[in-house]
Amino acid sequence: MRLGMFMMPVHPPARSFTETLAEDEEKALYADQLGFDELWLGEHFSASSEPIPSPLMFMASLLPRTKNLTFGTGVICLPNHDPVTVAAEVAQFDHMSRGRFMLGIGPGGLLSDFELFGNADRGVRARKTMESITTIQRIWAQDPPYDFPGEFRSVQLKGAIIPALGIGFMPKPFRKSGPPVTMSVSSRNSPTARVAGQQGWGILSGNNMPANAVATHWHSYSEACAGAGRTARSENWRVSRNIMVAPSDSEARDRVFSPQGSNHYFYTYMREVLSRVGILSVMMPDPNMPDEQATVDVITEGCVLYGSPKTMLDKLVAFRDEVGPFGTLLMTGLDWSGPNEGWERESMQLLAHEVMPKFRQHAMAQAAE
């Protein structure tokens, strides 16, 4: 059972980009000091509320200052990029990190980015994603000449090749097989989980769904793995949750539901975003409930794990029993405005040092049964 952090990140849009970048960097370094195993970072081009367009650039600045973290893109939105560029930049980062890298991919989820890059059609985004990762992996698997026809991007490099000088050769990753691939999953009964299972990739379940929705991911994933002749492995499943650990249950609840709290801001923001695109049901404890009943507090109660260290351990055990045997828990990194820096620092410390050792013991005991 590994522990990681997932940062979209989400900040109030009026905050300075300089300040939020520095804050996210400080949070990542603190996670490394606490012994967190992984850091996943989102990619968005056109939202000052989710303001990191280059997760690879951000994570590269952390490489020489961290020792525990393995880095993951959560995700590189492949329809927004040329696959040749992604193949080269990911290979470079894999070498810079000496293999401390996991390639998270997906079609994206931000409406303004879809418009910005001309990717409004959902079916087209899905096809672009699969064509792109296929091209990337083919580039990594061979030397030139390259000749890969595609629906959206055909890749050719056949003439300007000078082997003795290395000209015409695309960089390959640090690991011969390339970094492990993971797809983000963000809806009930997600077809993406099936695609990942069929391809032998991992899945990362998002933090905006109640437990009963997350449980559908393991079912879909393991079924697809079996259909492809492989066994679904828990180490290939990561689950992201908003988590608040405090000295007492009452303090944890107060911090989660406080109007000053980042969880309150986060779910107010996400409720508005998903309402505008007509998919608020993703966050509902009952997808058939009327929108007006899915208040911020109702959504928060269904999506956040909170409590004292003892209560948090009990909740994590119950959560894993309900959703399935995920191998990595990803704590969502939130905004540090007002009292939230102190609250989240304490929550991270309590989670890493008091809760996770016992949770790992429980997971190991279950695996041995």
Answer whether residue 111 is part of any domain: no
pLDDT at 45 > cutoff 90: yes
Query: Which residues does residue 157 pair with via DSSP β-bridges, in sequence order?
Result: 146
pLDDT tens digits along 109-124: 999 999 999 999 999 9
| The pTM of the whole model exceeds 0.95 | yes
Identify whether 344 is part of a domain: yes
* Domain assignment of residue 255, yes or no: no
Whole-Å CA distances, 192 to 130, 166, 184: 11, 38, 8
Overall average pLDDT of the 241-265 stretch? 98
In a domain, 42, yes or no: yes
Q: Which domain holds residue 190?
A: 2-74+180-242+309-368
pLDDT for 368 equals 87
Asked, for residue 94, whether it belongs to a domain, the answer is no
Q: Which CATH number does the domain housing residue 315 bear?
A: 3.20.20.30
The predicted pLDDT at position 369 comes to: 81
Q: Cα dist. 93→22, 66, 70, 80, 102 in Å?
A: 21, 15, 12, 19, 10
pLDDT band at 227 (very low <50, low <70, confident <90, very high): very high
Q: Is residue 43 part of a domain?
A: yes
Average pLDDT over residues 326-338: 98
State residue 205's pLDDT score: 98
Residue 174 in tokens: 């640090």
Mean pLDDT of 221-236: 97
The Cα–Cα gap between 230 and 219 comes to: 14
Give yes or no for a contact between 319 and 326, defined as CB atoms under 8 angstroms apart: no
- pLDDT tens-digit profile of 65-120? 999 999 999 999 999 999 999 999 999 999 999 999 999 999 999 999 999 999 99
On whether residue 269 sits in a domain, the answer given is no
- Mean pLDDT, residues 44-52: 97
**pLDDT band at 158, cuts 50/70/90?**
very high
The domain tally of the chain equals: 1
Determine how many CB atoms are found less than 10 A away from the CB of residue 232: 20
Domain membership flag for residue 99: no
Going by C-beta distance under 8 Å and a sequence separation of 6 or more, which residues neighbour residue 116?
A: 45, 46, 80
